Amino acid sequence: MSRYSRRAYRRAAREAARDDDRYTGSPNPKRFYRSREDKVIAGVCGGLAERFGWEPVLVRVLAVLGVLFGLAPIAITGYVVLWMITPREPFGRAPITPDEDAFWRNVSDRPRVTFGNLKYTFMDLDDRLQSIERKVTSDEWRLRKEFRDLEQGNN
């Protein structure tokens, strides 16, 4: 395989991956990226802070405390691994509103938790709908409706 064809193959593979990401990627804008704006070394602490809604200074202080209190090998290894595997924040990401931010912070990253939350939400809605149906189909509701209609007719 010539060098030119390898380069063309790599370019085509990158474009295909980008196209796949459009359709299969998460719609959640709160994904974990290394921060471009809020970084000291590689943006890992800034990215963690953005992802979880924490203050970047707090994440950095916790990282330094981890290094100082005997967890240096774990903290440094973890930082380097996150630096290597976490992508940089893409340019041109659309800013999200505070309401969208609050919504996405409440969405779980675990499918089972999300499914459970949806299941109980729909069960609650079903119970409320059954309650409304019982009230609307009851004889008492019809009688009250007739009284309201009579009162409006006399006015």
Would you say 59 and 116 are in contact if contact means Cβ atoms under 8 Å apart?
A: no
Q: How far is CA 86 from CA 46, 54, 114, 148, 153, in A?
A: 12, 18, 24, 65, 70
Q: What is the pLDDT along the chain (155 residues), one digit of tens a residue?
A: 455 577 776 676 666 555 444 544 555 556 677 777 777 788 888 888 877 778 888 888 888 888 888 777 887 888 888 888 887 776 666 667 778 777 777 776 677 777 888 888 899 999 999 998 888 888 888 888 888 888 887 76
Q: How far is CA 153 from CA 3, 21, 23, 146, 150, in A?
A: 89, 63, 59, 10, 5
